[in-house]
Amino acid sequence: MNLDHRNLPEQLNIAEVFLYRQLPRRAKAPALIHDGGVVTYEALADQTNRATAVYKSLGLEMEQRVLLMLPDVPQFASAWLAAVKAGGVVSAVSPDQQPDDVVYYLNYTRSKILVAHASNLAAVNAALPRCPHVRAVLVVGMGQAEGDTTPGARPTVLDYDAELARATPDPSFAPTHRDDPAVWLYTSGSTGFPKAATHKHHDFVYNALTYGLPIVGYNENDICLSAPKLAFGYALGSNLLFPLMAGACSVIFPEKPTPERLIELVRKHRPTMLTCVPTVLNAIANHPAAKEVDWSSVRVCISAGEALPAEIYNKWKSVTGVEILDGIGSAEMFHIFITNRLGDVKLGSLGRVVEGYEAKICDDDGRELPRGEIGTLWIRGDSMALEYWQQHEKSKQTFRGDWCVSADKFYQDEGGYFYFCGRGDDMLKVNGKWLSPVEVENALLKHPAVREAAVIGFKDADGLEKPKAFVVLNEGHTPGEALAEALKAHAREVLTPFKAPRQVVFVDALPKSDRGKVLKSQLRG
């Protein structure tokens, strides 16, 4: 049965849609490629059926939650798919959590089952006495179960792979409704612990059918590689769910996405699709080995997560020849809803709205602004989350009827292309005018000495807000007052003079999140 995003069936389980529908034609085809070998569609389905049986044996019921704390290993896919296949609600976070973080996520989600990696078992064990809701911990890579493995005062701790090997595969699907909760995606909140946007089964299929397959063009010949990790919604879609629905395969690896590692994987596996963030694109393009790589297998690169400066785009294209489709998505909407397209890339913009979504730029009172004026991005589409869990007031501010009110400042040109100006709390008011830090950063990146730049506001001696730049230099350039003045002068030449930074601070590296975004809150101190 062909799916129509405008009229999805009432009974819908995303595990069935994204994996099992492909089995008749792709059973023997590779679904996942990793350092240990290849996992076929048939093998992934078998592992998911076994994980479904294990979850049920541990008492998981419909709508109960499962938390994954795993790197990008094959078990991530089977553990994630089995949770929704069994009717549970799954969420995922990075595996390298501290004990207090583990306590927060387990108690916030009230997860009955935690699937964690052996590399972080010490932190998990330290957290468990403070986590009353969890019944069982399944450990990937443990070899043999450690600690108390019997039910009692603390949760049962079991070896994930051993349990799956013993289990009888359960091919059944929970009879989930398209509007049942299925997945929590965490936002990268600027303060405190992340909050979860709660999503329905429907949301993931909707975006795959409006963005992933028709615009990016995933197909069964694709080999996909991602710098962002599967714990984040961006990579979850682009390097697991969308490839599975298309019958493609994904290259996964647990290590940090260094330029060296990504270049090695491009050489070894010849991917056709690359998922990235601008910071990683810049790092690869600046790496000496990038010019020696044959990039001809890569038909397209998608970029999101932060603004893509024109300088990084041009540098990447000159080194690799690979087109970048820059776009924007969010945890609130699951995935990308505004994007450039093959044959329709407008440099500096995030492209046009995806069919099936609507977008508008509004003032602080929700009135739509004329084209060219900077305001807040409002987005509407059927992949929108239900709410932020346990954040009623924030939910009311963000989810207004059919519309999701973002924290991002944009403008739209007469051609319908959207331009990112910065997050609302990043925008600066200089000389009574709005100033986009992104514009200043792009200008600085045009100087040959600058490798990376981040711009924030500071108060001058008169208490007025002015731009301040933090700069990472390319090799061969020496920080100092003379270079700082040269960069200010360069910015005044490229921009309207009031936009030029009043201060330039040279740093060895910019602080970044595990998503690759620059943490401007740390720069502000």
Percentage of residues in the chain with pLDDT exceeding 90? 80
On whether residue 21 sits in a domain, the answer given is no
On whether residue 167 sits in a domain, the answer given is yes
Question: If residue 81 lies in a helix (H) or strand (E), which one and from where to where?
Answer: helix 74-85
Say if residue 181's pLDDT is above 70.
yes
On whether residue 56 sits in a domain, the answer given is yes
Look at residues 186, 221, 252 and tell me which one is the last residue of a structural domain: 186
Say if residue 153's pLDDT is above 60.
no
On whether residue 248 sits in a domain, the answer given is no
- pLDDT at residue number 459: 85
Can you tell me the mean pLDDT for 426-444?
79
Look at residues 167, 186, 205 and tell me which one is the last residue of a structural domain: 186
Total number of domains constituting the chain: 2
Give the residue from 153, 156, 126 showing the smallest Cα distance to 57: 156
Look at residues 168, 186, 204 and tell me which one is the last residue of a structural domain: 186
Q: How many residues does the chain have?
A: 525
Alpha helices (H) along 304-390: 310-320
Give the residue from 337, 349, 419, 415 showing the smallest Cα distance to 380: 337
On whether residue 291 sits in a domain, the answer given is no
pLDDT tens digits for 346-399? 999 999 999 999 999 999 899 999 999 999 999 999 999 999 999 999 999 999
Say if CB 93 and CB 69 are below 8 A apart.
yes
Q: What is the residue range of 57's domain?
A: 41-186
Q: Which two tokens stand for residue 277?
A: 């963030």
Can you tell me the mean pLDDT for 443-459?
92
Confidence of residue 463 (pLDDT cuts 50, 70, 90): confident
- pLDDT at residue number 432: 63
Say if residue 189's pLDDT is above 70.
no
On whether residue 6 sits in a domain, the answer given is no
CATH number (domain holding residue 54): 3.40.50.980
On whether residue 131 sits in a domain, the answer given is yes
3-state secondary structure 430-493: ECCEEECHHHHHHHHHCCCCEEEEEEEEEECCCCCEEEEEEEEECCCCCCCHHHHHHHHHHHHH
pLDDT tens digits for 63-122? 999 999 999 999 999 999 999 999 999 999 999 999 999 999 999 999 999 999 999 999
Neighbours of 367 (CB within 10 A): 9
Q: Specify the pTM.
A: 0.86
On whether residue 330 sits in a domain, the answer given is no
CATH number (domain holding residue 482): 3.30.300.30
